[in-house]
């Protein structure tokens, strides 16, 4: 029974602390100005996207990208393909391949 009285007393204290609370007052049109700021709040990424999406900036980036691509494309000098014969010769010498015809392989020597 004592715990129940203690709980009721504590509830009365908490509710009593709210008796002297007054409503807060703001300046005129505070909520209108706050809502306007919240709607017009542009983050960093929004500003960057707005700047990049401007036609002169976008065209400059496109031209720069094309110039870099063309530079890379044409800076690779066309290398002369090496003869595959040299590679085949080296391979044949390494593995001792010989060019024998079928007739040479099937001849019977006396």
Question: pLDDT tens digits for 25-47?
Answer: 888 888 888 888 888 767 888 88
Q: Give the Cβ contact number of residue 4 at 10 Å.
A: 8
Q: Rounded to two decimals, what is the model's pTM?
A: 0.37
Tokens of 1: 């029974």
Q: Cα–chain-centroid distance for residue 93?
A: 52
Task: With cut-offs at 50, 70 and 90, classify the pLDDT of residue 70.
Answer: very high
Question: What is the structure's pLDDT at 63?
Answer: 97
Return the residue matching tokens 């999406």: 53
Percent of the chain with pLDDT over 90: 19
Q: In b/e form, how buried is each residue of 45-60, taking b as 16+ CB within 10 angstroms?
A: eeeeeeeeeeeeeeee
Q: Which long-range contacts (CB under 8 A, 24 or more apart) does 55-62 make?
A: none
Task: With cut-offs at 50, 70 and 90, classify the pLDDT of residue 64.
Answer: very high
Percent of the chain with pLDDT over 70: 76
Q: What is the mean pLDDT of residues 90-103?
A: 68
């Amino acid at each position: 029974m004592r715990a129940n009285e203690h709980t009721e007393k504590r509830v009365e204290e908490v509710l009593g602390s709210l008796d002297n609370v007054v409503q807060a007052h703001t300046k005129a049109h505070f909520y209108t100005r706050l809502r306007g700021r919240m709607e017009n709040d542009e983050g960093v990424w929004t500003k960057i996207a707005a700047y990049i999406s401007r036609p002169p900036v976008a065209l400059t980036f496109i031209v720069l990208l094309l110039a870099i691509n063309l530079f890379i494309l044409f800076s690779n000098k066309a290398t002369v393909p090496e003869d595959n014969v040299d590679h085949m010769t080296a391979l044949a010498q390494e593995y001792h391949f010989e060019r024998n015809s079928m007739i040479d392989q099937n001849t019977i020597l006396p």
